[in-house]
Structure 1
Amino acid sequence: MTVYTLSIVEGDVDHIPSGKDIFSPGSPITFEDLDPSTLVWLTEHGYEEPGRKVVVTPVDGSLNGLRVIASREVDL
């Protein structure tokens, strides 16, 4: 199993070397990989609100310059 951090953020994720938007082709995991409790967590924290993205990083990955709404570790 591999542990990642999911972060709901606001800002430009293109300049973050350690993270990828979960919906981008380069993401190490996909939305479909997530368990039901993580999907509920995303919804409760407003991941679908305009200007927000879900970024996947290694544990302790840097998100400098982004406003982090919420973060959660997932073990896949």
Structure 2
Amino acid sequence: MPAQGSTGNVIAAIASFFIPGLGQLIQGRVLKAIIMFVAATALWFVLLGWIIHLWSIIDAAVFKGASST
């Protein structure tokens, strides 16, 4: 997997900026993507969805992937 700050993570973070969880989906983390999307969508109704939205962006940007050691 790409290292933190790689082009793949930047693209994933940008994708999560537009749709929470999309960056995680691009990285192949389907369960995390579903959780981020559902949580952000549910919390937008009480005006707290931006917290999950930001968490989604940061999580996609700093993801390091599985180590193959």
Q: Which protein is richer in strand relative to its size?
A: 1
| Rg larger in structure | 2
Q: TM-score, normalised by structure 1?
A: 0.30
Q: Which protein is richer in helix relative to its size?
A: 2
Q: TM-score, normalised by structure 2?
A: 0.31
